[in-house]
Structure 1
């Protein structure tokens, strides 16, 4: 109620965020998640139990945080045009930071592939490693991701045009295609003939594709939240920042995969 009164009498269009416990709780949960994850990989006692507890805390804290943001945007009317422009800029800068992260991965890959070390037999892929055929599961996953980019764009344009059924159909199909991609990525990992510890080739491959897979799962959750909000009539033709942000993120995931497919799967093999 206090926020509603303040928003009615403030002399500027910006949103002064109320004190919230969720950002610091999310940070603490993420710290526990990464620490316990590394400890689990090194075989520390009971680290796996702490990992799942930290993962649960991350999901809960972020869910409560998102709940507050959704309330501010949908029910309290705090997301004015000025606030939306700021949030759009924040999402754009976040995607730029993610692009730089993947740039570091590609830099490592090309540095190792263009000048293979003598320890790897001075060749790429190293002797004894059979690379994955890019025209099997990787090509199928490429088709799935490109199709999901089309369906999520269709959902966005349907929403702008007031076509609710088209919006829901596009988002549902996007989530299904994303889940299929994740499943096939898991199948690819299980049938691969090399592991993360098989020289720099294995490290670059699993680090790049694994982090991309993590981004796919995050993007899937992002779009699934958008689906729930669309079902709850939270979006209008000119006020759907949450869905728009998830779509921008998903297109970024698509573009990164194209670079991975061309460089790691096709050229690198």
Structure 2
């Protein structure tokens, strides 16, 4: 935040071509996805082109915003708008996961017991309604994923990463650049380690537990919740890596570092969601 900019000046950037570049990327990705699901070879090429353009846009657009920030163009009002924007974005993510937690709750507490009621015994006489279950119409055997082992290790990893990112934040406030770099490095390293262990866990679930996306009620909710969370951890780890690269380039000061703070907020949100997942998906099975 520029002290010269003051509280009365709100920086408005010049017209940018980056939104158009992003629209072109989505155009290629949309047609690529449509062709790919219909098994047309052209679709994979279009998808690759779309992703390449999207990556180019992300580097260019984010780089332009970083240069604007480092040149002191953002005032206190701009900083405040960034904070409100990030707060509402995280709130939307909270609601996103709340919908899936709500679906899990409704399925376990209402839907599955109702399907085991006497009025349904004619259709599924052997269905008892216990959890975890694939539902009355899927008879294939499977084993649920327990809380200990990899899930517990991943919980420790994410909680540790929350400590390291907080350590890095305090180091930035105290202008201790060495601790800042180390704390950020440890955080995104732990994030990528979490994703790698989750991929290994999925392989174990498929091959050893016969737990798949097609395993009815339990399989669908398990992979939907843990998979979306893993996607968020991946994005958060990439964001932390980008912030670390900016720190290595000398960006951020104790007074001006919302780019760091916004990513730290997001990472703490990811930590909290995982605690909910560990309790309601893994532990209370």
Give, in angstroms, the shift of residue 70 of structure 1. Answer: 0.5
Whole-Å separation in 1 of the counterparts to 2:39 and 2:197: 31
Aligned to 2:236: 219
The Cα of 1:52 is off from its aligned counterpart by 2.8
Alignment match of 1:249 (pick from 266, 269, 276): 266
CA distance in 2: counterparts of 1:131 and 1:164, whole angstroms: 45
Structure 2 length-normalised TM: 0.84
Match of 1:236 in 2: 253
Q: Which residue of 2 aligns with 1:83?
A: 78
TM-score (normalised: structure 1): 0.89
Q: CA deviation at 1:26?
A: 2.4
From the superposition, tell whether residues 139 and 43 of structure 1 become closer, same or farther in structure 2 (CA, over 3 Å): farther
Secondary structure of 1:183's aligned partner = helix
What is the number of equivalent residue pairs in this alignment? 259
- Which structure's CA Rg is the greater one? 2
Give the corresponding residue for 1:114: 109
- Tell me which residue corresponds to 1:149: 162
Tell me the CA shift for residue 35 of structure 1.
6.2
Q: CA distance change for structure 1 residues 173 and 38 in 2, over 3 Å: closer, same or farther?
A: farther
Aligned pair partner of 1:25 in 12, 17, 21: 21
Which residue number corresponds to residue 148 of structure 2? 135
Q: Which residue of 2 aligns with 1:4?
A: none
Q: Residue 43 of structure 1: CA displacement?
A: 5.1
Question: Equivalents in 1 of 2:35, 2:224: separation in Å?
Answer: 18
Match of 1:196, SS?
A: coil
In structure 2, runs of 5+ residues without a counterpart are 117-123, 135-140
Q: Which residue of 1 aligns with 2:55?
A: 59
Moved more, 22-31 or 93-102: 22-31
CA displacement, residues 144-198 of structure 1 (integer Å, 9 cap, x when unaligned): 0000000000000001001111100100111111111010000011110211121
* Cα distance in structure 1, aligned partners of 2:193 and 2:267: 15
Q: Do the aligned partners of 2:168 and 2:179 also contact (CA within 8 Å) in 1?
A: yes
Match of 2:193 in 1: 180
CA separation of 1:182 and 1:156: change in aligned 2, threshold 3 A: same
